[in-house]
Amino acid sequence: MDLFEYQGKQFFAEYGMPVSPGKIAFSVDEAVAAAEELGTPVMVKAQVHTGGRGKAGGVKFAATVDDVREHANNILGLDIKGHIVKRVWIEKASDIAEEYYASFTLDRSAKKHLGMLSKEGGVEIETVAEENPDAIAKIWVDPVVGLSEADVRGWIAAANLPEAAVEGSVDILQKLYTAYVEGDADMVEINPLILTPEGVVHVLDAKVTLDGNSEFRHPDYEQYDATQTRDEREAAAHAKGLQYVGLDGSVGVIANGAGLAMSTLDVVNQVGGKPANFLDIGGGANADVMAGALEVINNDPNVKSIFINIFGGITRGEEVAEGIIEAMKRVKIDSPIVIRLDGTNAQQGRDMLEPHLGDALMMEPTMLSAAEKAVSLVAG
Amino acid sequence: MAIFLDETTKVVYQGLTGSTGRYYGNLNREYGTNIVGGTHPKKAGTDVDGMPIFASVADAKAETGCNASCVFVPPPAVKGAVMEAAEAGMELVVVITEGVPAHDEAWFYNKLITDYPGTRLLGPNCPGIIGPGKANIGITAGHIAKAGGPVGVVSRSGTLTYQAVYELKEKDIGVTTSVGIGGDPVPGTNFIDCLAAFEADPETEAIMMIGEIGGSAEEEAAEYIKANVTKPVVSYIAGVTAPPGKKMGHAGAIVSGGKGTAKAKMEALEDAGVKVGLNPTEAGDLMAEIVKTL
């Protein structure tokens, strides 16, 4: 789950990190009211789930309330890498002497947490990593052992932060690690972490990705779930608890298991088709789930044929068959369905589908032949 | 010989009293897995379809001498279940449960490495392990694999594991062991662990490795194969056509910042002498050609 900057800052503030006061605004008038309340100068910042906002004109300094009106007017509705700006964050402006970078994420190769700290903040860390890798100080943290103050001091020394920034950074970086671990984040990033002319270290931006699997111990994360950017199809699938990613082709795909679903997309492409989506009905999917998945696919106007690819492990063939039959009864499926069914209780499932086979539902013995069939049906 | 388990492996099921645990516990028992029972802190002394329930893994071990556990408990209980099994001295812990928080995984992975080096963790979020004709721990449909080798299978994806062993069976090729390592960010057992075990296993003569987009596990495996594996390896990587930045179901399956693409993985593997198929069927065909020459 990706958080907007302002949500990330609220998240950081809960762990005692210093962030600037600000207000979220959904309209120009709200932005102006926020600026009047905070007092100018302020920053007007587009809130989108993507980087590169500054370059796209989504972050502006406003010296006066009139400036706020002008910038908010320009930024709201702006398209930043396909993300339309629907909200702006109005924040008290800060004086900046220096800009740093700090983050924690999981290093899957090392199986440890990886902290990255750099004196060269304010630009994308990928750029720093390419052009000047020595400017990034890395620290690997064993989750069982944790991160001590001494570790943090050593890390700051390795990053060559100036003396004036040391104490403030020690405090913030320890809190950042706590937020990362206790908050079950996949990633926390501050870019830039700034040093003000007065010598104060301050969090000026926040990029936070939370682990959706941890929601059971963070019931308040539901609020972030509600603000995820999803296209209409994705939102409908999400509401049914399905793993769905919208694509731009015409073969609707339903498979069980992420690997098989990805593989199904590959095979559809290889036989000359274009998948309309990735949809994993998951392990142990029952008739209801299958019916829901078919409804989601059916609502996509681009879909011309549907390829259901099931290899049952935890998913049982007879449940899949029941779901398809049930869905065909429940809603009118507009596109022909091609199914390939193997694995647990596959024969039982195939026997159940047999009497329903025809122009609307076809069965193929292999993944490849089913893909070919589904793709040929698109062409008509 | 199978890797990590054999017909003498005695398994206790943590979560046998739940509906999923019970269903697969029964299937695994029918397959011939030596199941000693299940655990539940409040249901000791009862049974599930004739399989006795113990209060803890330690109790089960004391009573039965079990040396492996299979975990079906819900995500919030997985960390505790893994530690309970490790503390009781289980040599193999197979976690089927999907949806375990990444921080829990990272924590118990490191805890086991440091304090319980005798425990091999498989998963979480994996289909388990099957030594065809010997034992099946997890959710793989047993009949899809032909016993007897000569191929060892290792895969990051559950359903693709099934697809792979099934493709082999269709060609009358047997499997020594099929290991599903799972698609989570911190798998307890990784490709390299399995490659090393297959390389050392005299019955395994060729290796099928199924990967997917995201992370760098396949690239690391390629390095390892180049330096250490003498047996022929065939591979398939799922997600060739996956768009960047979109998480494809598995927590690990995402192409981000130009890293973790199927293309890079396939190139790394080919560079290590691995034959790479463009789909599971092609990978099966490539393996069939190799098996003919063995």
**Nearest-CA distance A104 → chain B (Å):** 12
Indicate the pTM of the whole model. 0.92
How far the first Cα of chain A sits from its last, in Å, is 40
pLDDT band at B258 (very low <50, low <70, confident <90, very high): low
Antiparallel, parallel or unpaired: β B92-95 and B68-71: parallel
Query: Please, where in chain A does CATH 3.30.470.20 lie?
Result: 98-225
Residue A69 pLDDT > 70: yes
Cβ contacts of B161 on chain A, cutoff 8 Å: 259
Best A105, A109, A111, A247 residue to mutate vs chain B (most B CBs within 10 Å): A111
Of A144, A130, A139, the residue nearest A103 (C-alpha)? A139
Per the CATH hierarchy, to which homologous superfamily does domain A232-378 belong? Succinyl-CoA synthetase domains (3.40.50.261)
Report pLDDT for A124: 81
Lookup result for tokens 């998913």:
A315
In eight-state DSSP terms, residue B256 is B
Stretch among A28-37, A152-161, B56-65, B248-257 having the lowest mean pLDDT: B248-257
List all residues of chain B from 183 to 202 with a beta carbon under 8 Å from chain A. 183, 185-186
- Yes or no, beta carbons of B248 and A262 under 8 Å apart: yes
Residue A318's identity, in one-letter code, is E
CB contact under 8 A, A313 and B159: yes
What is the model's pLDDT at position B2?
82
**Which of A113, A142, A261 has the CB atom closest to B249's CB atom?**
A261
Q: Do A275 and B241 touch (CB under 8 A)?
A: yes
Phi-psi region of A52 (alpha: psi -120 to 50; beta: other; left: phi over 0): left
Q: Which residues contact B133 (CB under 8 A, 6 or more apart)?
A: B32, B147, B148
The model's confidence at residue A331, banded by pLDDT at 50, 70 and 90, is confident
Asked whether the CA dihedral A14, A18, A19, A22 is positive or negative, the reply is: positive
CB B240 within 8 A of CB B216: no
Nearest-angstrom CA–CA distance, B199 and B228: 8
Higher pLDDT, A131 or B121: B121
* CATH architecture of residue range(s) B145-293: 3-Layer(aba) Sandwich (3.40)
pLDDT score, position A166:
98
Q: Which helix (H) or strand (E) holds B38?
A: strand B34-39
CA atoms within 13 A on the CB side of B230: 4
Q: Where along chain A do the CATH 3.30.1490.20 domains lie?
A: 21-92
Choose, out of B159, B167, B218, B246, the residue to mutate when testing the contact with A (most A CBs < 10 Å).
B159
Mean pLDDT for all residues in chain B: 93
With a cut of 60, say whether residue B251 has pLDDT above it: no
Taking residues B146-174, what's their average pLDDT? 92
Nearest CA in chain A to B246: A245
Chain A closest-CA separation from residue B243 CA (Å): 8
- Measured between beta carbons, which residues in chain B are less than 8 angstroms from residue A104? none
The amino acid that residue A268 corresponds to is: V
pLDDT at A284: 65
Question: Three-state SS for B12?
Answer: strand
Q: Which helix (H) or strand (E) holds B66?
A: none
Contact B186 A217 (CB under 8 A): no
Cα(A83)–Cα(A81) distance, integer angstroms: 6
The SS3 of residue B102 is helix
List pLDDT tens digits, range A254-305: 998 888 999 999 999 999 999 999 999 876 667 788 888 999 999 999 999 9
Are the beta carbons of B102 and A186 separated by less than 8 Å? yes
| Architecture of the B10-122 domain | 3-Layer(aba) Sandwich (3.40)
Distance between CA atoms of residues B171 and B205, nearest Å? 16
Q: What is the mean pLDDT of residues A28-54?
A: 94
Residue B111 has pLDDT above 70, yes or no: yes
pLDDT-based confidence at B250, cuts 50/70/90?
Answer: low
Pull the structure tokens for residue A50. 């993507």
User: Which CATH fold topology does A21-92 show?
Assistant: Dna Ligase; domain 1 (3.30.1490)
Mention every residue, 6+ apart, whose C-beta is less than 8 A from residue A376. Answer: none
Write down the catalytic residue from A91, A98, A99, A189: A189
**How many beta-carbon pairs below 8 A join chains A and B?**
170
Angstroms from B58 CA to nearest CA on chain A? 23
Q: Is the pLDDT of residue B129 over 80?
A: yes
Across the interface, of B101, B186, B217, the residue whose CB is closest to A213 is B101
Q: For the segment B20-38, what is each residue's pLDDT rounded down to a tens digit?
A: 999 999 999 999 999 999 9
Question: Using the beta-carbon criterion (under 8 Å), do B158 and A283 form an inter-chain contact?
Answer: yes
* Angle of helix B280-293 versus helix A367-378 axis, rounded to 10: 150
Bridge-based pairing of strands A207-210 and A251-255 is unpaired
d(CA A236, CA A219): 22
- Tell if the CB–CB gap between A343 and B144 is shorter than 8 Å: yes
CA proximity to A203, closest of A174, A180, A169: A169
Nearest to A260 among B106, B160, B241 (CB): B160
Mean pLDDT lowest among A157-171, A282-296, B111-125: A282-296
Nearest-CA distance B265 → chain A (Å) = 15
- Three-class SS of residue B251? coil
C-alpha dist (Å) from residue B136 to A256, A317, B31, B129, B195:
21, 20, 7, 6, 20
CB contact under 8 A, A311 and B166: yes
Residues of A in contact with B253 (CB under 8 A): 258-259, 262
Neighboring chain B residues of A241 at a CB cutoff of 8 Å = none
Whole-angstrom distance, CA of residue B20 vs CA of residue B128? 14
Is the distance from CB of B204 to CB of B182 less than 8 angstroms?
no
Which of the residue ranges A39-48, A222-231, A318-327 would you say has the lowest mean pLDDT? A222-231
Residues 226-255 of B with CB under 8 A from A: 236, 238-243, 246-253
Q: Which part of chain B has CATH 3.40.50.261?
A: 145-293
CA dihedral A113, A114, A115, A120 (to 10 degrees): -160
Distance to chain B for A357, nearest Cα, Å: 24
Taking only the tens place, the pLDDT of each residue in A332-355 is 899 999 999 998 788 999 999 999
Q: What is the pLDDT of residue A39?
A: 96
One-letter-per-residue 3-state SS of chain A: CECCHHHHHHHHHHCCCCECCEEEECCHHHHHHHHHHHCCCEEEEECCCCCCCCCCCCEEEECCHHHHHHHHHHHCCCEECCEECCCEEEEECCCCCEEEEEEEEEECCCCEEEEEEECCCCCCHHHHHHHCHHHEEEEEECCCCCCCHHHHHHHHHHCCCCHHHHHHHHHHHHHHHHHHHHCCEEEEEEEEEEECCCCCEEECCCEEEECHHHHHHCHHHHHHHCCCCCCHHHHHHHHCCCEEEECCCCEEEEECCHHHHHHHHHHHHHCCCCECEEEECCCCCCHHHHHHHHHHHHCCCCCCEEEEEEEECCCCHHHHHHHHHHHHHHCCCCCCEEEEEEECCHHHHHHHHHHHCCCCEEECCCHHHHHHHHHHHHCC
> What was the pLDDT predicted at B247?
73
ipTM: 0.92
| Rounded Cα distance, B12 and B91, in Å | 12
Q: Which residues contact A8 (CB under 8 A, 6 or more apart)?
A: A188, A206, A207, A208
> B76 and A217: CB-CB below 8 Å?
yes
Examine the pLDDT at B165 and tell me if it is beyond 60: yes
Asked if B103 lies within 8 A of A314 by C-beta distance, the reply is: no
The reply to whether B143 belongs to the active site is: no
Percent residues over pLDDT 70 in chain B: 96
Residues in chain B with CB shorter than 8 Å from the CB of A313 are 127, 139-141, 158-159, 162
What phi and psi values does residue A46 have, to the nearest 5 degrees? Answer: -60, 140
pLDDT (0 to 100) of residue A85: 95
Which ranges in chain A are annotated with CATH 3.40.50.261?
232-378
Q: Is B106 on the interface with A (CB under 8 A)?
A: yes
| pLDDT tens track for B72-91 | 999 999 999 999 999 999 99
- Which residues of A fall within a CB distance of 8 Å from B279? 263, 266-267, 270, 367-368
Chain B residue at shortest CA distance from A316: B141
Residue B115 neighbours by CB distance under 10 Å: 12
Rounded mean pLDDT, B221-246: 92
Specify whether the CB–CB gap between B216 and B258 falls below 8 A. Answer: no
**Assigned fold of A98-225:** D-amino Acid Aminotransferase; Chain A, domain 1 (3.30.470)
Residue B195's contacts (CB-CB under 8 Å, 6 or more residues apart) are: B154, B207, B209, B221, B224, B225, B228, B229, B233
The whole-number average pLDDT for the span A313-341 is 88
Q: How much is the mean pLDDT over chain A?
A: 93
- Tell me, what's the pLDDT at A380? 62
